[in-house]
Amino acid sequence: MTVKSLLIAAAASLALAVPSALADDTTGLTKDTIKVGVPGPFTGDASSYSKAEIGLDAFYRHINDEGGIHGRKIEVIKADTACNEARGIAAAKKLIHQDEVFMIHGNSCSGVALAMKPTIEEAGVPWMIAHAVADKLSTPVVKTIFHGVPTSRDAGTFMAKYAMSRPDTKRIAIVAHSNEWAQSYRRPLVESLDEDHGIEPVLDMTMERGSTDATPQILKIRQADVDFVMAILYEAETAIFLRDAQKYGLDVTILGGYGTDLENTLKRVGDKDAVKNYQVLHMFQNVLGEGDLKTWGDVIHKYYPDEKLTAFSFAGIGSAIAMAKALEAAGPDLTREKLVAELDKIRDLDTGVLASDVTFTPEDHAGAKDSGVAAFDENGDIVIYRSWGQPF
């Protein structure tokens, strides 16, 4: 065989190895059902994040009561990750290989989602990320993975923009975990402060998960006389940081990422005065009990009457609306390939829930870009801002 013929044979072999459609394109489908795997931290210290997955389950139950999608009902199969990487990988394998779901929708805790990503990517199962924000989940683009909430890159950039929208902001301190979740906020935050606003943080400190004392960080911040603190911490450590900030009389605005919300933070701290300076990224158009959050809150309570609603409860609703739109558009002869193709066609979708419209293209699967900021006003009510002092 000549060199030329060898090359032709190799090229032909390679072409045959490239699938024309996703492997096992209809796994998880029957004529009556669509199996959807919903992984989340249903137990453990971060179980309050699982409200996002409970909201998802309520959404799909509502879809079923409305007749389903092309006559198929959604069968939700939950899997507990406990916000733990090893548990998350086990949950992904169970959903894919044991439960044989058609698609996966959910997952809070970015570190866990990143640990699960290789398993889900290799299996070719469509995955709509409903709560975790690490930008490496959807960038670079993987054909079957979509991000239904703002990523940490967009969030970090917005944090810089928001802080600098307050007049006379010059001195910013950062306190963040060293894990990938927090660093995926911190990197674009620092880049934006430098490239867009021409400043460097005066302090850039670490507070690890599991910390029980924020005294060293608080005392350094006080000594540095900063204007703004960026606290990129999970819930438990945020509560400790705010508690110690109050203890040492730190009176400065503290902005948190998507790892917390005001309701759970107040509940953990237990003192309104300790959270008066705390503001947090908010991914929704409204506050609890208003607009579409009222509508979907009523839906959640229909199926979970005793559920205590927080902002986390609605984190998956926007991406669920996008997913339902794509499933509907894919038609009755549903396949994974058709679902992915229809997701890639979604443009400027106003979910009525998310602060940002949702747009997916084959080149960009980070569908929501914008955020707001939630803060307590002087009456203790929550207000959402687009920028400093400008209500949403």
| Furthest-apart CA atoms within the chain: distance in Å | 84
Of 96, 95, 104, give the one whose Cα is nearest residue 127.
104
Q: How far is it, in rounded angstroms, from Cα 197 to Cα 189?
A: 11
Structure confidence at residue 55 (pLDDT):
97
Contact 103, 28 (CB under 8 A): yes
Q: How far is it, in rounded angstroms, from Cα 67 to Cα 324?
A: 12
For each of the domains in the chain, give its residue range(s) and CATH number, in order of start: 33-151+289-369 (3.40.50.2300), 154-283+373-391 (3.40.50.2300)
Q: Give the pLDDT of the chain (392 residues) as one tens digit per residue.
A: 444 444 444 443 433 333 445 668 999 999 999 999 999 999 998 898 899 999 999 999 999 999 999 999 999 999 999 999 999 999 999 999 999 999 999 999 988 999 999 999 999 999 999 999 999 999 999 999 999 999 999 999 999 999 999 999 999 999 999 988 899 899 999 999 999 999 999 999 999 999 999 999 999 999 999 999 999 999 999 999 999 999 999 999 999 998 898 988 999 999 999 999 999 999 999 988 999 999 999 999 999 999 999 888 999 999 999 999 999 999 999 999 999 999 999 999 999 999 999 999 999 999 999 899 999 988 888 999 999 999 88
Classify residue 9 as exposed, middle or buried by CB count within 10 Å of its CB (0-12, 13-18, 19+): exposed
Structure confidence at residue 23 (pLDDT):
62
Q: How far is it, in rounded angstroms, from Cα 280 to Cα 266?
A: 12
391 beta partners:
385
Structure confidence at residue 264 (pLDDT):
86
Structure confidence at residue 158 (pLDDT):
95
Q: How far is it, in rounded angstroms, from Cα 289 to Cα 296?
A: 9
Q: How far is it, in rounded angstroms, from Cα 272 to Cα 18?
A: 58
The one-letter code for the residue type at 364 is D
Task: Provide the whole-model pTM.
Answer: 0.82
Structure confidence at residue 284 (pLDDT):
93
Which token pair is 124? 């070719």
**1-20 pLDDT tens trace:** 444 444 444 443 433 333 44
Q: How far is it, in rounded angstroms, from Cα 367 to Cα 229?
A: 28
**265-296 pLDDT tens trace:** 999 999 999 999 999 999 999 988 999 999 99
